Chain A
Amino acid sequence: MKLLPFEKPLAELYDKIAQLRKLSVEGNIDLSGEIEKIEGRAEQVRKEIYTNLTPNQIVQVARHPHRPDTDSLIRLIFDTFVELHGDRLFGDDPAIVGGIATLGQFRVVVMGHQKGHDTKENIRRNFGMPNPEGYRKALRLMQMADRFRMPIITFIDTPGAYPGIEAEERGQAEAIARNLREMAGFTVPIVSFVIGEGGSGGALGIGVANRLYMLQNAVYSVISPEGCASILFRDAKKSDIAADAMKITAPEIVKLGIADGIIPEPLGGAHHDWKVVSQSIQEAIQAELCKFKDLSEQEIKSQRYAKFRAMGRFLDPGI
């Protein structure tokens, strides 16, 4: 598993463990006592590192190449899943995966941004950066969900919508904007999870939800820390300061009233145990869908409207 730069002290301990193991096999000597001791030390170091992550380090965890992806999570969480393709207008965008699924008594439409775990898959998925047809596929599936009374589950994990010539020609802005407006009108519940990177409008384009959860080491921001640093701080290398200033971590997003809850991750990040993470998400989905079962269509829509209507901090002497 790829270690992140700030995990360097761990790398040294892991190296030592590997050396001792090799030595113990080759020399046929029992070093299990020593190995155990260093393993214990490593676990302690890992705990120390992960209880004090800076926002910029959390960004690195959120972007870890082995972090659980949407497609894998869907298959771990749901009993059945049938992937559906295409926006019926232009094409099928591999950067967004979606389809119909079941979970116990619930029938849902589920979708999310799709990243890869290696270069080849990442190129195929465009690093999780959708083109307009991705958002239009998402909209088509959500409209179908609304028609057939199926709750909508979305997984957010994108650096942002793709900034390319063709994306602009085909109306990236329009595709996202339309989703924002249409999602506000659906009468089925929408529950969203930021599982990795919540990158700007490209994230929000499938994120106008009744309830929003952040994974513990996920981030959600209006612009990437690098982008913010290069525009406001005039130095892309100051992304650590920008990450801190923008308040992008799960606890901050909850504190600002944007997210409703946090899904805990195993020590060291979600990439260490996909199964545990998927179980926590599954429980959250079930709990949320049970809550919405008793609400009327109008109540579901009003709850979502009220949530977003209240977002904003300003001075109003009139109130």
Chain B
Amino acid sequence: MSIIDWFAKKEKSTGSSERLNIPGDVWVKCTSCSEILFQKDLESNQKVCPKCGFHFRISPEDRIRYTFDTNTFIEKDSEIGPTDFLRFFDTESYTDRIRKAQSKSGKNDAVVSGTATINGLPVNTAIMNFAFMGGSMGSVVGEKITRTIERSVEDFKPVVVFTSSGGARMQEGIMSLMQMAKTSAALERLAEQRVPYISVLCDPTTGGTSASFAILGDINIAEPGALISFAGPRVIEQTIRQKLPKGFQRSEFLLAHGMVDMVTDRRELRHTLSTLLTTLSIPREPNQ
């Protein structure tokens, strides 16, 4: 069996890179165009397929590296962790799910937040991590996003949030729903202080996350091809009993329907953010 056949046999994944467990973990197949890529080439291209432009999902660490000035990111609130306060049990307990996700990622929950600079401009930022329980929003995500926004209410630095989330975390019941209101309420205060907020919507941004802080940017930027929706495609198909058109609920569809300001290639993002934030921010003396 050739390598190509081996790849062809492998099930199509949903955007994370497929790795080959033979010589050195150096080959990756593009989810979109099936091109076999050198892992090294892909990484030097910010995990965008050099052939077709497909944007692979990336970790918060990669995002920080691609977006912010070198070594300027300082993490905040990393010690906050989730708790199984409902003692929720589905096919396994929430406690076990948390433990597994934590040991796999080395992170407490599905968002990394902190401060950094982009071309010298300081920002408060939060980056969601889809690899941690589908980027689901529970109390920790809600709290860290809210604290990020509240820091900006105090210090007037712009907020930049990168979303990648399947929506609310069901294992936290109604409390996860309330994080939508909590984060949106914080954005109301931010707007009152006239501090800019840019939301970068990455694949995927759906459910409760899309229907709260993700879509409320003064400027909404979508990465190419990202699934951005309130209701998931499967739920809609079940409701209306018909197949959805190709490209439905993808970034370009949202641009056409007026929901995002632009669809921006990841490799342009740093420059775009820098320009937007510099232009948007009210010139003022920093607080203190």
Contacts and interface: CB of A to CB of B under 8 A. Distances in A.
B259 A309 contact: no
A167 B249 CA distance: 11
Interface in B70-98: 79-83, 85-86, 88-91
Interface string B161-201: 00000001011111111111110111111011000000000
B211 A312 contact: no
A177 interface: yes
A8 interface: no
A201 B209 CA distance: 10
A182 B191 CA distance: 10
B164 to A, nearest CB: 15
Interface string A22-44: 00000000000000000000000
A223 B258 contact: no
Nearest to A242: B90
A104 interface: no
A247 B180 contact: no
A168 B212 contact: no
A222 B259 contact: no
A5 interface: no
A167 B230 CA distance: 9
B210 interface: yes
Given A163-B236, A314-B140, A208 B173 contact: no
Interface string A150-169: 00000000000101110111
Nearest to B213: A177
A182 B184 CA distance: 8
Interface stretch (A93-101, A115-123, A225-233): A225-233
B188 to A, nearest CB: 4
B86 A248 contact: no
B28 interface: no
Nearest to B228: A173
B230 A258 contact: no
Contact of B170 (A163, A172, A223): A223
Contacts of A222: 168, 170, 172-174, 176-177, 208
B239 interface: yes
B229 to A, nearest CB: 6
B185 A163 contact: no
Given A222-B174, A246-B173, A256-B175, A180 B181 contact: yes
Interface in A142-196: 161, 163-165, 167-174, 176-178, 180-185
Interface in A213-246: 220-223, 227-228, 231-234, 242, 245-246
Contact of A181 (B89, B179, B216, B244): B216
Given A161-B230, A309-B146, A312-B143, A200 B182 contact: no
B79 A314 contact: no
Q: Say which size band chain A's interface belongs to.
A: 35 or more
A207 B185 CA distance: 12
A228 to B, nearest CB: 5
Nearest to A229: B90
A229 B188 CA distance: 34
A61 B204 CA distance: 36
Given A163-B239, A181-B216, A311-B179, A232 B90 contact: yes
A9 B73 CA distance: 65
Given A201-B208, A245-B88, A163 B235 contact: yes
A15 interface: no
Contact of B210 (A173, A223, A309, A317): A173
B6 to A, nearest CB: 30
B257 interface: yes
A111 interface: no
Interface residues of B, number: 63
Contacts of B212: 176-177, 180, 201
A204 interface: yes
A312 B138 CA distance: 8
Interface string A296-319: 000000001100110111111110
A128 B265 CA distance: 40
Interface in B253-288: 257-259
Interface in A265-319: 304-305, 308-309, 311-318
Contacts of B248: 165, 168
B188 A182 contact: yes
Given A184-B181, A185-B188, A245 B215 contact: no
B211 A232 contact: no
A313 B174 contact: no
A184 B82 CA distance: 26
A312 B210 CA distance: 19
B139 interface: yes
A253 B146 contact: no
A319 B86 CA distance: 21
B20 to A, nearest CB: 30
A172 B228 CA distance: 11
Given A165-B240, A171-B259, 5 more contacts: A172-B211, A176-B180, A181-B216, A313-B175, A317-B79
7 contacts: A161-B230, A163-B236, A173-B229, A173-B259, A177-B180, A309-B182, A312-B182
Interface of B: 79-83, 85-86, 88-91, 138-140, 142-143, 146, 168, 170-182, 184-189, 191-192, 207-208, 210-216, 228-232, 235-236, 239-240, 244, 248-249, 257-259
